[in-house]
Structure formats: structure tokens, C-alpha cells
Amino acid sequence: MKINMFSQQILSKLKKAQNVAVLTGAGISAESGVPTFRGEGGLWKKFRPEELANFDAFIKNPDLVWEWYHYRRQIISKIQPNPGHYALVEMERRHKNFVVITQNVDNLHQRAGSKLVYELHGNIERNYCIDCTKDFSNQEINETKNILRCNCGGLVRPGVVWFGESLPMEQWNASVQAAETAEIFFSIGTSAIVYPAASLPIIAKRAGAYVVEINLERTELSYDADEVILGKSGEIIPKLVQTYL
């Protein structure tokens, strides 16, 4: 007899589903070595978001904010996607409409090979001028010892979304649409407390999706999810893929 850790419901739904959406958070990259924000060892235990991840803080102290992003970019430049990221690439091949919606800025889904990724919180490998929005490459940033200024005189900032800022509208609208049309919606490695991203599984559920959470522990979403699978995403997603593909 074959015993597996997944319910018949999720397996039969996955075998049939054409529209699948996945929301990911810092937890999916934890096994690659990217620190999460909350919980044990979380970045927000050591650093204060209000001093590092908002626009006023940047204007007040751009050196400090850039130091924080250089630190994180350095971590990310040395690591690789993990089996959780790669298993999502396998899933993308299997379903007609498959989208990864990520709160992560680490670019690991794209590096693993996911084709359709909506980045709700931006991407740490992008930079732009706060006045004229001109893009600047990472190389230009790395080569500049001081804070980089655009030709127009504006400060260059990381291309990420900070607290109090709006999400990129096109990516957000597309994410809502994916949630509304998903037959199965996964919430993976996110504490599900930062809005509006955290509203996506609820939008999906109201529109009729089967909502599955994969996390090390229960979260704010667990009560509303149809199924909660506890464990490491880098182990669970590959097992799930092996079981239904």
C-alpha cells in the first residue's frame, strides 16, 4: 500500500486543475539561506523596519538604508534556489495557467526558471532614481562607493516596496485576477500578516479556490485554509510534485 502525506482532495484537484496560483514569502527562500523577517532569527528581531524600509528613513539616512540593502544583496548573491523553487517550475510546466506571486525580492523564483512571477514587493536587483525613475544597474550601484545620484540630481534607491508605499499596480491587479480564477491557491512560507498580499488567499477562497498552506507552523491564514501542510517547503513541494505529476 502506498502511504502518502497528501490528502486525496489535493491530489485529485491538482491532477485536474488548469488554473493554479501560488503566493510565496520569505520561508520559501529560508532553505537557500535567506533570513526570514519574523520568528526566530528573523531580520525584524535585529533591525527596525521603520529605520530601514520606508521612504522617510531613506531620505533621512540614505547611507544606512543602502548599507542594509548591500548587506542583503550580498547574502542573496551567494546563494542558490532550493528544491522548493525548482518544484514550482515543474508545476508551471504541468498547468495551463500557473502563476507565482511573491513577496520576496530575492529573484530566486526567476533564477530557478519560473516564467510567470508577479513581484509584489519589487526586486532587490533593481534600482531607480526617485525623481525621474531612470533605472540603474547593480553594477553601477556596486561601483559607486558613495550614494549614487542620477544625472537629474535625484537619489537612486533600491527597487523594492517599502512600508507605506503602494504595490506595483499592474502586478497587484494581475495577482488579484489570478487569485479570483485559481482552482487551487497555495500560500507558502509566509506569515500571512502583511497586507495587501495577505488578502490574496482570502480572495481566492471566496472565489471558490481550494486553499492550501505550506509552512513550518500555523499562521493567521491557517484557520481559513482548506488544508495546512506543516513542514519545510523545500521538502514538501518536491514530494507533492512527485506524488501527483
Question: What residues act catalytically?
Answer: 121
Q: Considering only 11-19, 26-34, 89-97, 146-154, which stretch makes contact with ligand OAD by CB under 6 A?
A: 26-34
* Residue with Cβ nearer ligand OAD (43 or 209): 43
Return the C-alpha torsion angle 174, 178, 181, 184, nearest 10.
Answer: -170
Q: Considering only 6-14, 38-46, 136-144, 201-209, which stretch makes contact with ligand OAD by CB under 6 A?
A: 38-46
Distance, CA of 22 to CA of 185 (rounded, Å): 6
Amino acid at 92: E
Residue 175 binding ligand OAD, by CB under 6 A? no
Angle in degrees, 0-180, between the axes of helices 8-16 and 233-244, rounded to the nearest 10: 70
Among 10, 148, 161, 203, which residue interacts with ligand OAD (rule: CB under 6 A)?
161
Interactions with ligand OAD, residue window 58-97 (CB under 6 A): none
Least distance from C-beta 52 to ligand OAD, angstroms?
9
Among 116, 130, 194, 228, which residue interacts with ligand OAD (rule: CB under 6 A)?
194
Least distance from C-beta 36 to ligand OAD, angstroms?
3
Residue 238 binding ligand OAD, by CB under 6 A? no
Among 127, 175, 187, 215, which residue interacts with ligand OAD (rule: CB under 6 A)?
215
| Total of residues contacting ligand OAD (CB under 6 A) | 27
* Residue with Cβ nearer ligand OAD (15 or 163): 163
Among 10, 13, 14, 31, which residue interacts with ligand OAD (rule: CB under 6 A)?
31
The full DSSP string for the chain is: ----SS-HHHHHHHHH-SEEEEEE-THHHHTTT---SSSTT-HHHHS-HHHHSSHHHHHH-HHHHHHHHHHHHHHHHT----HHHHHHHHHHHHSSEEEEEE---S-HHHHHT-S-EEETTEEEEEEEETTT--EE-HHHHHH-SS--B-TTSPBEEEEEPPTTSPPPHHHHHHHHHHHHH-SEEEEES--S-STTGGGHHHHHHHTTPEEEEEESS--TTTTT-SEEEES-HHHHHHHHHHHH-
* Residue with Cβ nearer ligand OAD (69 or 210): 69
Among 14, 20, 23, 53, which residue interacts with ligand OAD (rule: CB under 6 A)?
53
* Interface with ligand OAD (CB under 6 A): 25-27, 30-31, 36-39, 42, 49, 53, 103, 121, 161, 163, 189-191, 194, 215-217, 219, 232-234
